[in-house]
Chain A
Amino acid sequence: MPYRFLEDVAIADVAFEARGGTLAELFKQSALALVNTMVQDPAKIRHSIEKKIEVTAESAEMLLFHFLQELIFYKDAELLLFNNFVLTIARTEGRWRLRGTLSGEQISPDRHELLADVKAVSLHNYTVHKIAGGWQAEVILDV
């Protein structure tokens, strides 16, 4: 189960749970859940544009938050959706740092079946925690 949408957690918004064997895998699955909230089939996103990103935070939890916010930012500011994420996550001197390359393309209503526009990642009941064999996150997106 890389990610799944949760039915009765958030009535007006979209809740999902994601898992990964590593933190980078968890981030990738969470990003796919976010993209899948906005388009029906993230696999159809082509790789015509690459973006390098770097995000830092005081915890793994807030690192995921800022990473997802970055994707929401690109969706509005440059109309970009991504489905390929090459990520490196490290903790140095007490801070978490993500470096990565995102591959995707501009939103095209002709080719992408659009779903809900995501406004923000909510911190309500937001968690990132270790589980047996990896990491798990529960996230509510404001749509």
Chain B
Amino acid sequence: MTSAAPPTVPIVAAEMRPSRRGLVPPGRLALRRFLRNPGAAVGAIVLLIVILAVVFGPMISPFDPDVGKILESRKPPSAEHWLGTDAIGRDQLARVMAGGRVSLTIGFIAALLAVSFGTIVGTLSGWFSGVADAIISRIIDILLSVPAVLVIIVFAGILGPSVPMLIIVFASLLWPQSARIARGVVLSLREQEFVQAARVLGSRTLFIVFRHLIPGVLPAVIVAATILVADAVLSEAAVSFLGAGVQPPQASWGNMLNDAKSITVLSSMPWLWLPPGIAIFATVLSTMAVGDGVRDAIDTRRIG
């Protein structure tokens, strides 16, 4: 996030040069800036590979991720089982791909819910200000310091672990991040002329919010959403690792590492714990890189 600012000046000169068809549209400019950023481009490719693998992998794989042959347990990687087999003979590659489906689904749905709710609450809070804003800001402050992992331990310990519960808890603890960002942007937007004009023209509040404010807030919030996805994937892995998240036999990257934490597996069967660990790491890192790249690409202030 704090990566060094790219040398913008020469790039601007090249970018702003009108092409034969006139000025380059801002969307394509942003895309070009995004692809020129090596971290973002590599991140996007890795993320694309991960998404393709978890979406299509389980369809192609000849092995059922949840059913194994007990006679073939804990076999090292081979031509048949590319990543070996686990303690009850299930194909490890099939499990990594199926586990990724679960982890990414939880991450994306939770982030989507959090961003939608957070954007609306943050926008309204910034627009109306006053007491409601003060209360919402206070709730945001407190919720931001509540760690999802601990809340899920408590909920799973009382109600039992379940995937919908994970999504609900992540979404309800992640929305404040996007709400805070949306609120900040709205506070500056509301003073600008086009919003003032809409007000003077007698536009209804809801119209202003959805026509003028939310579109202005979206770029910043979309960047924040990538961080939320990364956050949710990491938290899901942690709670499933602790046994409070996705339950076996269903695979998730976190609970696969939980199966592999004994010292015998750790010391002599690296194929059981390296792949899910690397998968989490690669997904989170590339999501963050893509988020950074998008932020730098659409941040026109940096160039102006």
Whether A and B are associated in the same complex: the answer reads: no
**Residues of chain B having any CB pair with chain A under 8 Å:** none
**Residues of chain A having any CB pair with chain B under 8 Å:** none
